[in-house]
Every structure is written in C-alpha cells, then in structure tokens.
Structure 1
C-alpha cells in the first residue's frame, strides 16, 4: 500500500506484486481500522511522500517528521520529541524546504491524532494535532531565519 506517485516512480518496479496505490484522501478498511492516505509531497523530503492516518483519530503514521536520532526514550512516550527531532533535523537539514510546508502540516494536524507513530524514534502519545502544528511553526521559523 502506498500513494499513487510512489507506485508510479518505484514500487511498481521493485515489488513482487503490484501495489495498492491510494489517491489523496482515499480510505482503505483493514478490519477493525480504516486508514486514510494523505499526500504530502516533499514533506519532509520525497515528492512521493504521504501519510496514513487512522480515521478514528487514534494514530498517524508520520514517517520521518519526528526523527529522533540517538534519543534514549522508551518505545512509547509522552515526553518531548519535538526538541530532539528538531536538533536532529537542524544538524542534518534533511527536509526539502517546500513552500507548501505550512499547508501540509495543517493538513496532517487536522487529523487530530492521539498517537504519532514515528519511523525513527519513539512513538508519541498526546495531542498530535498540537505537536504537528508546533513542528509547522518550527519549519516556518527555519525558512524565515
């Protein structure tokens, strides 16, 4: 399962079988949960980027948005992940600097997840919408500064 652009540019070529490509906003029921695909090109760094959110508001699979390199936290935390992820981002500057960052962050924040499932680092429980908006503000400040 992936977004339409990812299917077109790489998954069709490397996967053992054809992917289930989802359009922006499309949902897919997997049993107890229904997931929605949200296109987010260049956020943080690939034009095929996108995210899956549980339509119940339980979770957002947020990929590299809150990468916490070397953080010594438990697998699930309610402590600060924005600070460590910003330290990591600023040290490596792996974000794309897209001018669409504010709108894309608001699109993700509007899902109001209670769990942010990070690809690199601890998952985070709390007001995910607020934390995503805080990341959006950090990105805007980085661009302005």
Structure 2
C-alpha cells in the first residue's frame, strides 16, 4: 500500500480520497461530501484508516463527519466504520434496512440510520437519494447513493478497473470495466459479481437517474454521459457474466 493518499475534487464539494495498493493493482477511493452535515462514502479498511483520516483532514475536521455510508458489508466498504464513529461523535452509519438488520447494527458501535428506497438524505445544500441494488455490485444488502445537485452517482464496485489511474476521466470506463470483468473470471476473484434476473433492470434504473459523474470505488471517476455508460455496462455484464450455453459453474 502506498504511504500517502491523493485528494481530488471531482465535483463541487465532492472529494475523492484515493490510495493505490500495488499488491492488487487497484486504487481504493473514499468519497467525502463537504456540507453542513458532511458525509463519507466508503470507510476504507481498518489498516487504511490512518491514511484516509489524514487525507480527509486536509478538507474538513474529521470530528465533524455526520454521516458514514457504503454500499455493502465488506472490509473496504466499511471495515473502519467504528474507527470513524469514534473520531466523529455525532456520526451515524447510513444504509438500507437489510444492511442494518443483517450486519451493521450488530457490528457498529451506534445503530444505523436506515433509508428506504428513493428516500432522500439532506446534508445541507446536497441531497442523496438511496437506491436498493441487491447483488449489484454484490451482496444482498447492496445499495447506492445518488447526489442530485451535482448528479453524482456513488457507485461502489461498479465499473471497477485496475491500475494507478487518474482521478478523473472522460474516457470510456465501460471498456476498462469489461476487461477487468473478463480477467477477473480467471483469477481468485472469479464470481465476485453475480448476475441475477434483477441485474439488468437495476442498472437501467440507475441510468434513469442520468448521472453526470460516476464515482468509482476502484478506478477513475467518470465525467460525462453516465446514463449511457450504465446501459453499456449492463450489456457488458450480461455478455461476460450472464447465462449462456458456453458458461458453466466451476
């Protein structure tokens, strides 16, 4: 793991805190929305906490965090949740009902603030809409946040691509993601992305939000036609992961 974090403003008051891990050839991105009630999306793993905290402190006082959110229960999504809750005494975890019931309320030192489908969380100037996305990218409890003022979709592991990449890009992230999906099927992370009868409709539902920024956990934040990118990702995931006569379980 690199010994420093990169901080980049990807939209007004929206910051990506990025750490490159050479062992995985991946960037791990954590997103801060600076507002009256600041929100952090992705806590990072516990071992990354000191680096992420130091980087976040370049933008705001970490103790002022009010909301801490993530897509699903996984180390890089919420492993350092309790570390952040200790640093920020007014902070609350934010997730959907399934996440709260099956993991978060047992794990976290404070109970979760639960959001229903399409419920809005207001942080001040900004508005975050919650979307349930079961098994997209993965895990039953998965959900995403869409910030409506800047049209930024905090999209977790969707569009994952490898490399020590740039903070922002207008290039085609779908092709990068497709290559990573294909390569991933050959390694230890095969089957990390399930393909279910809901996958296509969930991705098209996210596209209907018409995001202008796609804030990726692993890779570059995409700036451009997010709706088109999501619809193209739906095609790529169906082609690579969907059922087919030439595809059998290991």
**TM-score w.r.t. length of structure 2:** 0.55
User: Is it true that 1:74 corresponds to 2:172 in the alignment?
Assistant: no
* Cα distance per residue 1:5-54 (max 9 Å; x no partner): 11111110111211111111111100110100000101121111110001
Q: How does 1:85-104 map to 2 (within 5 A)?
A: 85-92=177-184, 93-104=191-202
3-state DSSP class of the match of 2:151? coil
User: Is the CA contact (8 Å cut-off) linking 1:53 and 1:59 kept in structure 2?
Assistant: yes
Query: How far 1:57 sits from its partner (Å)?
Result: 5.4
Please name the residue that 1:139 is paired with: 237
Q: Which moved more, 1:41-50 or 1:83-92?
A: 83-92
Residue-pair matches, total: 144
Q: How does 1:1-145 map to 2 (within 5 A)?
A: 1-56=94-149, 58-70=151-163, 72-92=164-184, 93-142=191-240, 143-145=242-244
* SS of residue in 2 equivalent to 1:112: coil
Structure 2: state its 5+ residue gaps: 1-93, 185-190, 245-250
Contact 1:57-1:112 at 8 Å conserved across structures = no
Deviates more, 1:73-82 or 1:24-33: 73-82
Instruction: Give the distance between the partners of 1:91 and 1:21, measured in 2 at CA.
Output: 36
- For 2:96 and 2:211, the matched residues in 1 are separated by 20
Contact kept in structure 1, 2:178 and 2:237, CA below 8 Å: no
Structure 2 counterpart SS, 1:38: strand
**Bigger RCO of structures 1 and 2 (CA < 8 A, at least 6 apart):** 1
Q: What is the rounded CA distance, in whole Å, between the counterparts of 2:130 and 2:150 in structure 1?
A: 13
Q: CA RMSD in A?
A: 1.3
Query: Following the alignment from structure 1 to structure 2, what is the Cα–Cα distance between the partners of residues 99 and 53?
Result: 23
Superposition misfits of 4+ residues, deviation over 4 angstroms: none
Aligned to 2:6: none
Maintained 8 Å contact 1:57/1:111: no
Give 5+ residue unaligned stretches, structure 1: none
